[in-house]
Structure 1
Amino acid sequence: MKFDPNQPIYLQIAEHFCRQILSKELAGGARIPSVREVAALTEVNPNTAMRAYHHLQEQGIIEQQRGIGYFTTDNAYELVLEQQRREFLSSELPRFLEKLEQLGYTLEDLPALVSSQNLR
Structure 2
Amino acid sequence: MDFNANKAIYLQIAEHVCEHIMLGTWKDEEKIPSVRDLAVQLEVNPNTVMRTYDLLQQKAIIANKRGIGFFLTPDAIKQVKAYRKSVFLADELPQMFRNVYLLEIDLEELQKRYQTFIEENFNQN
TM-score by length of 2: 0.83
CA distance in structure 2 between the aligned counterparts of 1:111 and 1:46, rounded to whole angstroms: 43
Aligned to 1:83: 83
Amino acid at match of 2:117: L
* Structure 2: gaps spanning 5 or more residues: 119-125
Q: Is the 8 A contact 2:32 2:72 kept in 1?
A: yes
Q: Would you say 1:40 and 2:40 are equivalent positions?
A: yes
Distance 1:11 1:91, change over 3 A: closer
Distance 1:103 1:32, change over 3 A: same
Aligned to 2:26: 26
Give the drift of 1:51: 1.4
SS state of the match for residue 51, structure 2?
helix
Q: Would you say 1:9 and 2:9 are equivalent positions?
A: yes
Amino acid at match of 1:41: Q
SS state of the match for residue 117, structure 2?
coil
Superposed CA deviations along residues 77-102 of structure 1, whole A, max 9, x for unmatched, are: 11110111122222222221221121
Amino acid at match of 1:106: D
Amino acid at match of 2:10: Y
Equivalences, count = 118
* Structure 1: gaps spanning 5 or more residues: none
Structure scoring higher RCO (CA < 8 A, sep ≥ 6) equals 1
Distance 1:52 1:114, change over 3 A: closer
Q: Is the 8 A contact 2:59 2:83 kept in 1?
A: no
CA distance in structure 2 between the aligned counterparts of 1:19 and 1:113, rounded to whole angstroms: 24
CA distance in structure 2 between the aligned counterparts of 1:88 and 1:32, rounded to whole angstroms: 25
Amino acid at match of 2:6: N
RMSD: 1.6
TM-score by length of 1: 0.86
